[in-house]
Amino acid sequence: MRNRILKLEKASEQLEPSPSQRNDWAAAVQDYAHDYVDSLPNRKAYVKRDTPSTGLLELPLDGQPKPMEQLLGVLKENLPNDGLNPASGGHLGYIPGGGIYPTALGDYLAAVTNEYAGIFFGGPNAVRMENMLLRWMCDLMGYPKGSLGNLTSGGSIANLIAFVAARDSKKITTDKVKNSVIYLTGQVHHCVHKAIRIGGMGEAMVRNVPMDGQFRMDANALAEMVDKDVADGLYPFLVVASAGTTDTGAMDPLNAVADICEKHNLWFHVDAAYGGFFILADVDNPDGTTIKDTFKGIERSDSVAIDPHKGLFLSYGLGAILIKDIKAQMESHYYRASYMQDTLGATEEYNPADLSPELTKHWRGVRMWLPLQLYGIAPFKAALEEKILLTRYFYDEIQKLGFEVGPFPDLSVATYRFVPKQGDTNDFNARLLEHVQTDGRIFVSSTTIDGVYWIRIAILCFRTHLREVDMLLEIFKEGVEKLVQS
Ligand SMILES: *Cc1c(COP(=O)(O)O)cnc(C)c1O
């Protein structure tokens, strides 16, 4: 027995590389990463291919060891040369990604130390760090002391956690679901509908509240709908407002929605996955208000979903749910298994595992803590303000090229289209988008609102500056000239 164990030990020891092996691997990965970052300004934001590359399939998972160089070689050949490059400053489609470098270093530390951030007993410092970050974000939103939430993988899970807490807190038991009512607009992110269904509320009545001309929720219409539903004996319990819709960047009137929720004791959720961190921006609006003013009322909500992997420019993998009534969140998510009896007892911090569906998880806090502490808040604030102003600059300049535009951007998303003298406008703009995507230096995407095809610009990558926006304007200018002639 002992001999066999010792033999196995010898073989399994390879899983702990020697210091020199570690150095070699780390150096190779670092070279790859740094070359990649340095090459970004010369790379396309989008590589359009008819069929995605299949190079990865040529290196099957055959159970055989392979040298690091070969593996990095395969990644180098295949990954960035296909489809959308979320690290590119030219990514101005959908909601752009981030990828600030210290996020990667934080992930590296989390992975190497493998700190456990599920339960305070197991990883008090890892948990404390995550809760500090949550309290910092609660503070940003104007939430009172004692609010918390959870660091999630993204906005989708953040919304799910909030809806489940809302469901339980408002006592929407299974027998009540069919007569319960949720209010949102046609512009909420599709993951909101997904979360409602996954959260067991798929049979609830979901009311589309009408919007004003700027795609913001019409609070008067909401008030009327809730009044009617209450009079009809239904159970209105949840309103989902957006602080920055994905499609058009619209800010719903949070303060007015808060009034209605307060009056009827409804759970007020704000999906600020995209827009939440713009609360940091000191920028005046043309109508005399400020960006901060448009967030007024968010402090009156019950929960906020906010994505640091969007508005704080972190690499993908970090969202957050902020919840004012931590007991409500806990009642929906905690569980005590008998094999966890050692973890009971007084703890200074709430356990992330009691506040979300997850137990064992990546210590995702350090990927946010490290950049925030290294840089301080000033460069983030500057970048957010820059993105708002870049969007406004684009909004002005694209009109000078003869484009029609949608509403003045509330944050950093704008819509626009070119109306040709003849021919189908939707078709023309679809071809114009094709022109931009074929060029590939800059990537933008489109949307259809009430049957009208609009091209969008969404500026949120920290690498997007005037250079990229000017380049896009140039590409549109060429595109229109080319398409009008043909
Ligand atoms: C991106 C986004 C989501 C979804 O978040 P993920 O991080 O992609 O899961 C939800 N709501 C809004 C408004 C978003 O922009």
CA nearest ligand 1 atom 2, residue: 273
CA–CA dist 405, 388 (Å, integer): 16
Residue 324 C-alpha from the chain's centroid: 21
Continuous segment of H or E residues that includes residue 237: strand 235-242
Mean pLDDT confidence for 1-19? 97
Which atom of ligand 1 has the smallest separation from the CA of 245? Answer: 13
- Whether 342 has a pLDDT exceeding 70, the answer reads no
Of residues 413, 408, 415, the one with CA closest to residue 452: 415
- CA distances from residue 460 to 155, 275, 312, 433, 485 in whole angstroms, order as listed: 16, 10, 9, 20, 34
Pairing between β-strand 303-306 and β-strand 404-405 as defined by DSSP bridges? unpaired
Q: pLDDT, tens digit, for every residue of 432-466?
A: 999 999 999 999 999 999 999 999 999 999 999 99
Q: How far is the CA of 192 from the centre of ligand 1 (A)?
A: 9
CA nearest ligand 1 atom 15, residue: 274
**Per-residue pLDDT band at 343 (split at 50, 70, 90):** low
Residue 156 C-alpha from the chain's centroid: 8
In this structure, are residues 328 and 303 in contact, taking their beta carbons and an 8 Å threshold? no
The identity of residue 128, as a single letter, is R
* 181 beta partners: 205, 236
- CA distances from residue 211 to 198, 219, 267, 416 in whole angstroms, order as listed: 26, 9, 20, 19
If you search the block for the tokens 């395969």, which residue do you land on? 74
Continuous segment of H or E residues that includes residue 152: strand 148-152
CATH classification code of 107-375 = 3.40.640.10
Q: How far is the CA of 319 from the centre of ligand 1 (A)?
A: 9
The model carries a pTM of: 0.97
The helix/strand/coil state of 252 is coil
Residues of the chain with CATH 3.40.640.10: 107-375
pLDDT score of 340: 67
**Per-residue pLDDT band at 345 (split at 50, 70, 90):** low
Q: Which of 153, 215, 269, 271 to mutate to test the pocket of ligand 1 (most atoms within 8 A of CB)?
A: 271
Neighbours of 174 (CB within 10 A): 8
Write 258-263 long-range contacts (CB < 8 A, 24+): 258/297, 258/300, 258/301, 259/219, 260/219, 260/222, 260/223, 260/226, 261/300, 261/301, 261/302, 262/300
Q: Which of 152, 159, 191, 254 to mutate to test the pocket of ligand 1 (most atoms within 8 A of CB)?
A: 191
Which atom of ligand 1 has the smallest separation from the CA of 316? Answer: 7
Q: pLDDT, tens digit, for every residue of 95-152?
A: 998 999 999 999 999 999 999 999 999 999 999 999 999 999 999 999 999 999 999 9
Which atom of ligand 1 has the smallest separation from the CA of 242? Answer: 13
Q: How far is the CA of 308 from the centre of ligand 1 (A)?
A: 11
Of residues 466, 474, 458, the one with CA closest to residue 98: 458
DSSP state of 443: B
From the number of C-beta atoms within 10 Å of its C-beta (0-12, 13-18, 19+), residue 10 rates as exposed
- Whether 346 has a pLDDT exceeding 70, the answer reads no
pLDDT score of 336: 77
pLDDT score of 171: 98
CA–CA dist 239, 347 (Å, integer): 33
From the number of C-beta atoms within 10 Å of its C-beta (0-12, 13-18, 19+), residue 337 rates as exposed
CA angle 425, 427, 429 (to 5 degrees): 70
**Of all residues in the chain, what percent carry a pLDDT higher than 90?**
93
**Of all residues in the chain, what percent carry a pLDDT higher than 70?**
98
Q: Which of 94, 156, 160, 447 to mutate to test the pocket of ligand 1 (most atoms within 8 A of CB)?
A: 156
Mean pLDDT confidence for 314-321? 98
- Whether 374 has a pLDDT exceeding 70, the answer reads yes
Q: pLDDT, tens digit, for every residue of 261-274?
A: 999 999 999 999 99
CA–CA dist 407, 54 (Å, integer): 42
Q: Which of 310, 364, 368 to mutate to test the pocket of ligand 1 (most atoms within 8 A of CB)?
A: 310
pLDDT score of 347: 74
Of residues 199, 126, 148, 149, the one with CA closest to residue 360: 126
Stated length of the chain: 486
The identity of residue 200, as a single letter, is G
Q: How far is the CA of 455 from the centre of ligand 1 (A)?
A: 20
Ligand 1 binding residues, C-beta < 6 A: 95, 154-156, 189, 191, 242, 246, 271, 273-274, 307, 319
CATH 1.10.2020.10 for domain 378-485, yes or no, is no
Mean pLDDT confidence for 157-175? 98
Read off the tokens for 274.
Answer: 């995209």
- CA distances from residue 27 to 22, 220, 286, 381 in whole angstroms, order as listed: 8, 60, 50, 33
Q: Which of 274, 303, 318, 412 to mutate to test the pocket of ligand 1 (most atoms within 8 A of CB)?
A: 274
Q: How far is the CA of 414 from the centre of ligand 1 (A)?
A: 17
CA nearest ligand 1 atom 10, residue: 155
Neighbours of 97 (CB within 10 A): 21
- Whether 64 has a pLDDT exceeding 80, the answer reads yes
Choice among 54-58, 138-142, 150-154, 289-293 with the minimum mean pLDDT: 54-58
pLDDT score of 485: 87
pLDDT score of 52: 79
End-to-end CA distance of the chain: 80
pLDDT score of 48: 84
Residues of the chain with CATH 3.90.1150.10: 378-485
Mean pLDDT confidence for 422-439? 97
Q: How far is the CA of 72 from the centre of ligand 1 (A)?
A: 31
Choice among 84-88, 373-377, 412-416 with the minimum mean pLDDT: 84-88
- Whether 286 has a pLDDT exceeding 70, the answer reads yes
